[in-house]
Amino acid sequence: MNQDLHSVARDYPHFYWTLFKSTFLISAFTVGGGFVIIPLLKAKFVDEYHWLNDKETLDLVSIAQSMPGVMAVNTSVILGYRMAGLRGSLTALLATTLPPLITLSIISVAYDLFADNQYVRYALKGMQCGATALIIDVAIKMLRKQFRAKLLIPLLIVAATFIANYFYDVNIMLLIIIDGIVGLILLRADKYNI
């Protein structure tokens, strides 16, 4: 992987503060959890700060998916570690856990008011649609990349994994393990580094 990119990240003025701020915002706006984090990561760290590239983002997500725990926590731990070791990892983790702690401290005081509040539901419905648009955008861009590479095995992996996950609800960890093994056996060549 590209080592220079990460010294660029660490030399960025106020690196830790920027890392904290971005991860905090990403966590605060992850509506619905899980994969929504990917377009947000890409927007901040790839497009805005250029600390990562698209492929590395997918690698981080793959590693996060292959371990137990929650995606947002796993991703921030690995992302922070990738850019600045243990300190980066803990910075990103703190920033990820703070927003829920703050919002829920407030909400638990007035839970009944919040849960039945129509206005809150309307606003959250709107944000769900925004999150959907983000994930559609990223899905299309990434699919396009896979198709442009015109390689049979990766495309078969995309199709098979999609069918198994969407139509048959096969456990994600199991799919990740199987696809990792397929990669280990069949995709060692450099041309598969899409």
User: Among residue numbers 87 through 126, which ones bind another protein (CB under 8 A)?
Assistant: 89-90, 93, 96-97, 99-101, 103-105, 107-108, 111, 114-115, 118-126
Q: Exposure pattern of 28-52 as b/e (b: 16+ CB <10 Å)?
A: eebbeeebbbbbbbbebbbeebebb
Q: How far is the CB of 77 from another protein (least distance, A)?
A: 4
Per-residue tokens: 132 = 């959907």
- Identify the residue among 18, 31, 46, 53 touching another protein (CB under 8 A): 31
- Identify the residue among 10, 28, 46, 49 touching another protein (CB under 8 A): 28
Residues numbered 121 to 150 that lie near another protein (CB under 8 A) are 121-139, 142-143, 146
Query: Quick one: angle between helices 118-149 and 54-65, nearest 10?
Result: 110
Q: What is the x/- site pattern for another protein, positions 47-86, by CB under 8 A?
A: --------x--xx-xxxxxxxxxxxxxx--xx--xx---x
Tell whether residue 40 is a contact of another protein (CB under 8 A).
yes
Tell whether residue 17 is a contact of another protein (CB under 8 A).
no
Cβ-contact 134, 39 below 8 angstroms: yes
Distance CA 160, CA 11 (A): 42
Task: Give the closest residue to 96 by CA, choosing from 28, 156, 164, 144.
Answer: 28
- Identify the residue among 39, 51, 84, 95 touching another protein (CB under 8 A): 39
**Nearest residue (CB) to another protein, 14 versus 167:** 167
Q: How far is CA 54 from CA 41, 47, 103, 145, 188, in A?
A: 10, 9, 31, 10, 20
Q: How far is the CB of 100 from another protein (least distance, A)?
A: 4
How many chain residues are in contact with another protein, going by CB under 8 A?
A: 109
- Identify the residue among 11, 17, 29, 84 touching another protein (CB under 8 A): 29
- 14 phi-psi bin (left φ>0, alpha ψ -120 to 50, beta other): left
